[in-house]
Amino acid sequence: MSQNQNQSQNQGRSAGLEGPGAVRPEVAGARSATGVTISGLHKSFGDNEVLKGIDMSVAPGEVVCLIGASGSGKSTLLRCVNRLENPDAGTITVGEHEATHPDVNLDAMRRQIGMVFQQFNLFPHLSVLENCTITPRRVLRQSTAEAEAEALAQLDTVGLKHLADRRPDQLSGGQQQRVAIARALTMKPQLMLFDEPTSALDPETVGDVLASMRKLAQAGMTMLVVTHEMGFAREVADRVVFMDQGLVVEEGPAAELIGDPQQPRTQDFLRRVLHPLGE
């Protein structure tokens, strides 16, 4: 798909970031046509029921931020979407794949999904470029030249092309996380799952990671993002979902949910996140 198509289909995204008709940043990859639908999702570990009937969706090209206290089940939910966990009940569809169907082609489904974790898990003995080419070469059977061209394009997207020859330990945490994002993008995913991608980073490197994620959002990627970065959620997310104790308590447009939450539990959580000293 051309950038022009991307631009016209993305009008209206992220109000306040840019005016109508603003030039979209160059991001390798096209607007995603894949969404996620979750209904009646239950998951227990032993007698600990972690997900108690979750219904939520992410439309193609939509950015949804998932917020909630530690232990509320956010990571488990994300892991169920690409079947790193097996749900006990409920259905999940990712584009044309029914993740919860017994006959689902997990390899094909997972190829559509990029996941970025708190810990970036780069191979320490490989260069940045090699970290980004190894999977496309092995799984997509790309030639070295093809994989390197794609990897450099994605590294350029996250502003790190000039560090392609470095080893991960020569990079800051934020730079390593941007490499992890570029690495995920080289597989040409239709859906990106982020699980607290900036929680382990030094504060001064968080901004560049969020900026890379914003760029991806503006390019039209479908994104489900677990984060405590309320500024990012307010600015970039189309919707915010608040989870507590395994249930969706409240969801809505980002500005409304963060600015004017209706449920007492949402109000309490946001008060603690936005005003930790009680001011």
Ligand X SMILES: Nc1ncnc2c1ncn2[C@@H]1O[C@H](COP(=O)(O)OP(=O)(O)O)[C@@H](O)[C@H]1O
Instruction: Please tell me whether residue 112 binds Mg ion under the rule CB under 5 A.
Output: no
What is the DSSP-derived secondary structure letter of residue 170?
G
**Between 195 and 208, CB nearer to ligand X:** 195
Sign of the alpha-carbon torsion through 190, 195, 196, 198: negative
* Residue 72 touches which of ligand X, Mg ion, none (Cβ within 5-8 Å per kind): ligand X
Strand partners, 251: 241
**Are the C-beta atoms of 225 and 194 separated by less than 8 Å?**
yes
C-alpha separations of 27 from 77, 141, 196, 214, 216 in Å: 28, 23, 22, 11, 7
Instruction: Compute the least distance from the CB of residue 24 to ligand X, in Å.
Output: 32
Instruction: Compute the least distance from the CB of residue 86 to ligand X, in Å.
Output: 11
**Between 155 and 223, CB nearer to ligand X:** 223
> Which pair of tokens denotes residue 107?
């390899």
**Between 80 and 113, CB nearer to ligand X:** 80
**Between 75 and 227, CB nearer to Mg ion:** 75
Angle at 56 (CA atoms; ends 55, 61), nearest 5 degrees: 160
**Between 106 and 200, CB nearer to Mg ion:** 200
Instruction: Please tell me whether residue 76 binds Mg ion under the rule CB under 5 A.
Output: no
65 Cβ partners below 8 Å, 6+ apart? Answer: 225, 226, 227, 232, 233, 236, 237, 239, 240, 241, 254
Q: Give the footprint of ligand X on this chain (CB under 6 A).
A: 45, 48, 50, 68, 70-76
**Are the C-beta atoms of 213 and 221 separated by less than 8 Å?**
no
Among positions 6, 75, 100, 186, the unique one binding Mg ion when judged by CB under 5 A: 75
Binding residues among 233-272 for Mg ion as defined by CB under 5 A: none
Instruction: Compute the least distance from the CB of residue 70 to Mg ion, in Å.
Output: 7
**Between 41 and 171, CB nearer to Mg ion:** 41
Instruction: Compute the least distance from the CB of residue 192 to Mg ion, in Å.
Output: 16
* Residue 2 touches which of ligand X, Mg ion, none (Cβ within 5-8 Å per kind): none
The distance of Cα 227 from the centroid of its chain, to the nearest Å, equals: 9
> Which pair of tokens denotes residue 16?
């306040």
| Rounded Cα distance, 37 and 208, in Å | 30
Instruction: Please tell me whether residue 227 binds Mg ion under the rule CB under 5 A.
Output: no
What does the binding site for Mg ion look like in residue numbers (CB under 5 A)? 75
